[in-house]
Chains A and B, each alone.
Chain A
Amino acid sequence: MAVIAEPVAAHVKPRSLWSRAFESRNFLGAMFMVPAIAILILFLAYPLALGFWLGMTDTKIGGVGRYIGFQNFVSLSKDSVFWLSVFNTIFYTVFASIVKFAIGLYLALLLNERLPFKSMVRAIVLLPFVVPTVLSAIAFWWIYDSQFSIVSWVLIKAGLLSRYIDFLGDPWNARWSVVIANIWRGVPFVAITLLAGLQTISPSLYEAANLDGATNLQRFRHITLPMLSPIIAVVMTFSVLMTFTDFQLIYTITRGGPINATHLMATLSFQRAITGGNLGEGAAISNAMIPFLVAAILLSFFGLQRSRWQQGGRD
């Protein structure tokens, strides 16, 4: 006898809401996003919001603060140490960034040429980036030591100097000293990133320019620089942000001294909030960095916008 096929639908049992939810793209998508969102809220959004809130209170360590509006900012605006730290931060950022860019670009151009032991030289260039910041800061601390400085020692032995340099005791010596330490630490990042950018430039462009009659300088000016400009914008944005918010180097080498001459906004914020116990005031100093950082980001955002030659058309 022929078996009559049952209607297919009869086999399909009505499924539970649970199993149907797990087949829905939207529900699953939301589920997969939960861990990421939780981490972002817990470790990023919450501390940021807490920082904003603390800046509006007079919270001290161990005590519950009251909301005092913008009073922290008003008192900071009359605080000469705060304004000194703003000046120091801008000075530190501007000089360190410019020099890091110049040396980084020079090294990148050099490493992009055919060099003997190229990969070894590249590894050496990366070294300052690999060493933990605090370790290299301690090394600089010794280099800048008023009695044991190797720099002073060498200069005296060479007969160029009669007495030891007081690197960290004099305000301007100290400012330049920490700028130099920051440059030493930051150059590898700039150099390696720019080198990566240089390597994306097709060699045939240089050959074409060579045949077109360009000198080395003209090739740099008309090919390298315009082709590298998008990478330069990215790398300098990062460099400026990292320098502006620097903490470790300063805190290890000078702790902000002498007479607050090397206090950056980040170190001053830490000193007031944690060492001094005034969480509210410290948070307000941190919050005061935000306009500067936003300005730097906006600047690079407009700088980063793809130039006309990068847009449109097919590849």
Chain B
Amino acid sequence: MSSVQIRDVRKSFGNFEVLHGVSIPIEDGQFVVLVGPSGCGKSTLLRMLAGLENITSGTISIGDRVVNNVQPKERDIAMVFQNYALYPHMTVGENMGFSLKLRNASSDEISKRVKRAAEILALSPLLDRYPRQLSGGQRQRVAMGRAIVRDPQVFLFDEPLSNLDAKLRVAMRTEIKELHQRLKTTTVYVTHDQIEAMTMADKIVVMHDGIVEQMGTPLELYDKPENQFVAGFIGSPAMNFLKGHVRVNGVATFEGPNGVKLPLKSVPAGSDGKPVVYGVRPEHFTIADDGADAEIVVVEPTGSETQVFAKLGGEQVVAVFRERHQFNPGDKVRLKPDPSVVHLFDEATGKRM
């Protein structure tokens, strides 16, 4: 186990810079998730950490050692690939023991460690099968087994669950988290799925267009997104954004599109009349007599909750209710955001106010 330090790392392909100075400290034993939309540079960063891509500038260190010029095989890391990259001509056992075999470990040692890893991942009955004979979830576990057997300093996961069906993905999520709690190996996990990030991470790094937008624990990111991008990326359904102005007239209010007025708790001094973006999460709407007028467009019950799409000041917003309201399209309701948890962003910079 080891800490990992990524310091001001840049990456260019030719003249095109894809990472613009990324710094991420990762503590020993931490489970860090890099999350962001496709093309944000998260996979490139992971591959640089693995040694599969060169580092254009900046440093990456694993433990106390700067690894910029260290060969992948000497970095003592194990990686789980998106397509698993299992060797098709080797059995599950051979796949898992391959790295040990290359290190000239004795066959007793190899079989002992493969067996141990297989027990952890419930792969023992499958050791003699070939990858083709396994289901997607089993292949996924073999890929993890191959990583575990090596007992590396750092585990790297590159979107490992994206080839699985929805149900299996949820199950494997828990399994990976459990595995990390058991082995406590420093882990860097790349995904574009914010739910995976929220559920698994000790620390989430939100990336966008080659920069780090925000780092923090899942709930920090959820409760205090530093900018509009993070606010919109974390949380499902996504946060509602309304453009408008702050009006301070004794009490601060938000004046949105078509004159709709929404409550604010407090605003920084001197922000009267400032153009802002008002952010409210779907679950922070309530039905109240003093709410703003809205018209129901679509109602989507999921059983545990009901998602309601409504027009508020001409803009479509989504609200989520745990209670079972009886709504029909066209109904008029009064929606009220909880002012203690609304978010205000500067319209020009997108920064949190």
Contacts and interface: CB of A to CB of B under 8 A. Distances in A.
B78 A211 contact: yes
A309 interface: yes
Nearest to A307: B89
A62 interface: no
Interface stretch (B96-104, B235-243, B244-252): B96-104
A204 B47 CA distance: 11
A213 interface: yes
Interface residues of A, number: 25
Interface stretch (A19-27, A178-186, A190-198, A222-230): A222-230
Given A202-B85, A307-B89, A212 B132 contact: no
B73 A309 contact: no
B79 interface: yes
A170 interface: no
Given A202-B83, A208-B79, A315-B132, A309 B89 contact: yes
Interface string B122-139: 000000001111110000
B87 to A, nearest CB: 6
B81 interface: yes
Given A202-B83, A207-B85, A218 B102 contact: yes
B216 interface: no
A147 interface: no
Contacts of A163: none
A110 to B, nearest CB: 22
Interface in A277-315: 307-315
A214 interface: yes
B211 interface: no
A210 interface: yes
A65 B101 CA distance: 68
A139 interface: no
B73 A313 contact: no
Interface in B284-315: none
A214 B102 contact: yes
A163 B253 CA distance: 104
A260 B130 CA distance: 53
Interface in B238-275: none
A38 interface: no
